[in-house]
């Protein structure tokens, strides 16, 4: 029996180099660029029935291939965004999983709808947003997410409410599911018409203080985030990278106090009374890794949280670099850094 029907337009032995922002070579046994939910779901169902591993690919901005993918790569190209409901104070919008996230943010901002302007320029597609519970500059997706439309193996298409998604720091219920057991189809967001800008993040406050802007609009906040991100993070079109490679670790207050006594200038963010978040970039920089290059891979000279691929290297080289950084941070600070990127293709 043939695994996939010919009308699905699935190709075999496809290079994924152009489909990951690190620009690393890897190959997919099967590849499908899905332009409709029907096409994507049929491919998922057939792959699931054959116990074939599935990788759902969006913008490829949060992936490290350390080997080839011995299964199906489902590249989601579904498109569409629309206004569902509108009141005097808020709107409900829906966007397809294949939509570019930043484009959605700028569309909302252009309409005067606030709530996601702090998430401007985050790479990737809409479908990845709830899986990661993307966040930046004091805002997370969970602050505005209303529902997620998702296909689940054995259940079909279901709508999950915000509270059903178990959204945490770069975490969600989807990360507890097997990779080929679900597919995000679309999301719904509730945005505000008279949104008060969130300027809780220090870099944003500083940006507007320097410009003498007391009450910025959501468009000005979006532009500020774009400017700040561009000043800190390298463009993948210029040098291969996956953005922030590691999560910022959250530690218990007792451990934090011990570290703070030893490193009084250590930056931190309060999570709650029991936990504190420490910037991974600071930990990496303290271990001397910032700006270091090892052959075709290295740590960015301006942002220690970003690992880069200069070209001609392999995923295993970059992963070895990441593991060496983890070892040094653990040895010096007793903190185990966790990757924010998905490491794929290994045994």
Closest CA to 179 of 101, 33, 74: 74
The H or E element that residue 145 is part of is strand 145-152
Q: What is the DSSP letter of 3?
A: S
Angle made by CA atoms 204, 205, 208, in degrees to the nearest 5: 85
Active-site annotation holder among 170, 186, 190, 314: 170
Q: In whole angstroms, what is the distance from residue 330 CA to residue 286 CA?
A: 12
| Catalytic residue, candidates 61, 172, 186, 244 | 244
What is d(CA 214, CA 170) in angstroms, rounded to the nearest whole number?
31
Q: How many CB atoms lie within 10 A of CB 109?
A: 23
The span from the CA of 133 to the CA of 135, in Å, is 6
Is 258 in the active site? no
Radius of gyration from C-alpha coordinates of the chain: 21
Return the exposure string of 261-293: e unless at least 16 CB atoms fall within 10 Å of the residue's CB, then b: eeeeebeeeeeeeeebbbbbbbbbbbbebbebe
Catalytic residue among 25, 146, 317, 340, which? 340
C-alpha distances in angstroms, 197 versus 64, 191, 193, 289? 34, 12, 11, 35
Q: How many CB atoms lie within 10 A of CB 128?
A: 25
Active site residue 244: yes
How far apart are alpha carbons 122 and 103 in whole angstroms? 10
Q: Specify whether 252 is catalytic.
A: no
| Cα-based distances in Å from 306 to 265, 277, 279, 312, 333 | 22, 18, 13, 18, 20
Between 218-232 and 202-211, two packed helices, what is the crossing angle to 10 degrees? 110
For the chain, first and last CA: distance in Å?
A: 27
- The CB density around residue 38, as the number of other CB atoms within 10 Å, is 10
User: Which active-site residues does the annotation give?
Assistant: 170, 244, 340
């Amino acid at each position: 029996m043939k695994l996939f029907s010919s009308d699905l337009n699935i190709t075999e032995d496809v290079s994924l180099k152009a489909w990951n922002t690190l620009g690393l070579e890897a190959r997919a046994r099967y590849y499908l660029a899905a332009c409709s939910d029907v096409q994507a779901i049929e491919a998922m169902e057939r792959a699931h029935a054959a116990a074939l591993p599935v990788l759902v690919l969006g913008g490829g901005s949060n992936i490290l291939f350390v080997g080839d993918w011995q299964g199906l790569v489902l590249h989601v190209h579904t498109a569409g965004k629309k206004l569902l409901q509108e009141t005097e104070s808020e709107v409900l919008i829906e966007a397809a999983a294949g939509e570019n996230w930043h484009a959605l943010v700028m569309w909302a901002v252009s309409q005067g709808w606030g709530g996601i302007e702090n998430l401007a320029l985050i790479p990737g597609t809409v479908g990845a947003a709830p899986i990661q519970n993307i966040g930046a500059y004091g805002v997370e997706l969970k602050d505005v997410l209303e529902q997620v439309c998702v296909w689940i193996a054995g259940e079909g298409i279901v709508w999950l409410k915000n509270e059903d998604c178990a959204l945490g720091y770069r975490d969600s219920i989807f990360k507890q599911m097997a990779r080929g057991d679900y597919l995000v189809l679309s999301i719904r967001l509730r945005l505000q018409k008279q949104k008060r800008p969130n300027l809780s993040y220090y870099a944003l406050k500083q940006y507007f203080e320097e410009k003498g802007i007391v009450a910025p609009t959501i468009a000005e906040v979006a532009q500020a985030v774009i400017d700040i991100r561009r000043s800190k993070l390298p463009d993948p079109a210029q040098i291969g990278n996956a953005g922030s490679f590691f999560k910022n670790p959250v530690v218990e207050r007792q451990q934090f106090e011990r570290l703070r006594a030893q490193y009084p200038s250590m930056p931190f963010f309060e999570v709650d009374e029991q936990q504190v978040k420490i910037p991974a970039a600071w930990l990496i920089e303290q271990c001397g890794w910032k700006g270091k290059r090892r052959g075709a891979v290295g740590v960015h000279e301006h942002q220690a949280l970003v690992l880069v691929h200069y070209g001609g290297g392999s995923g295993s080289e970059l992963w070895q670099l990441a593991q060496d950084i983890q070892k040094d941070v653990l040895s010096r600070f007793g903190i185990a850094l966790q990757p924010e990127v998905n490491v794929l293709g290994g045994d």
